Structure formats: C-alpha cells, structure tokens
C-alpha cells in the first residue's frame, strides 16, 4: 500500500521526537460514519 511507505518515512524522519510515536488514522465505517483514531506505534527496542 502506498500509505505504508509514507507512514514509515514520516515515523523515521521524526523518530527523535517523543510524541512522534502517535499518529491519527481516519476511517469511514460501514454506516458511512467517520471515525478518527489515535494510534500508538511501538517498535521493539532492537528494531529502533
């Protein structure tokens, strides 16, 4: 998916910022209602 590369690039570019481990994801449910979710991206220490 094209969005995955963009997300990874943004996470990498801002990895030094503590708050950069959070990102927001907007979705639309089956009933057409929007939802905005805040996600915490946690990577095992060995991969950082």
pLDDT beyond 90 at 1: no
Contacts (Cβ under 8 Å, ≥6 apart) of 10: 20, 23
What pLDDT, on the 0 to 100 scale, is given for residue 46?
58
Binned at pLDDT 50, 70 and 90, residue 44 comes out as low
Q: In terms of pTM, does the model score above 0.75?
A: no
Domain that holds residue 27: 2-47
Q: How many domains does the chain have?
A: 1
Distance CA(15)–CA(28), nearest Å, equals 29
Contacts (Cβ under 8 Å, ≥6 apart) of 7: 23
Mean residue pLDDT of the chain comes to 81
What pLDDT, on the 0 to 100 scale, is given for residue 6?
87
């Amino acid at each position: 998916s094209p969005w995955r590369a963009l997300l990874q690039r943004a996470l990498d570019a801002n990895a030094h910022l503590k708050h950069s481990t959070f990102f927001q994801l907007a979705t639309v449910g089956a009933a057409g209602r929007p939802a905005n979710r805040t996600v915490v991206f946690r990577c095992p220490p060995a991969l950082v």
